[in-house]
Structure 1
Amino acid sequence: MLSQGITKPGELQKTAVKFVSAKAQAFLISEMEKDDILTEEELVYFKRGRNAHSKTTAKNTDVVTYRISTGFEAVFGFNHLTHKHDRVAFLADYCLEKISEQI
């Protein structure tokens, strides 16, 4: 964002939320499913993360969106913990591209 000239704190915050919010993560998972990006194994971890019981509640979104975003994070966590760094980079690039299209 800084390289794009976004330097004011308020503007940075507003733009960053578009990348990291539960709504953005839920959107990205739907795009990944639509584009058939996720492997079978990643889908398993997405569903496990999505269905896991959480002790925290959503602050700015509904419970369903919050759970989907938790599954999204589980996919990245699974790939990171299994040292699939190229896969993490691929998924991150995919997500950045999809979000950038929406801005």
Structure 2
Amino acid sequence: MATARKKRFSRRVPDHVTDELVVVLSEETEFLHFNDLFQKVYDNLKKKNAVSGGEEMLRLRAYEKLQNLVSRGMVEKEGRQYLGLDGIERASSKWQAEGEKA
């Protein structure tokens, strides 16, 4: 007996933290210490009124997202400093959405 497959609709919401990490890292040409990088990301998110859950929770999320970018080969890590590599824009929500349309 065959079972019917259910079609699911999943809507992905933009990942504001990753998007801001991409913006900051793509603008910088030198390595940034995590604290400096986080401060820029936090300030940008605050301007957009996209900060929720408190600064410490956002710091943890940003660190996790940053390590994900490092493991994907989009960010170079040297000690506790980070540098965005060519193609880091592919990690942004805008790039992902354009890829799904194609």
TM-score by shorter chain over 0.5: no
Query: If you compute each CA radius of gyration, which structure gives the higher value, 1 or 2?
Result: 2
TM bracket (short chain): under 0.3
TM-score normalised by the chain length of structure 2: 0.27
Structure scoring higher RCO (CA < 8 A, sep ≥ 6) equals: 2
Structure holding more helix per residue: 1
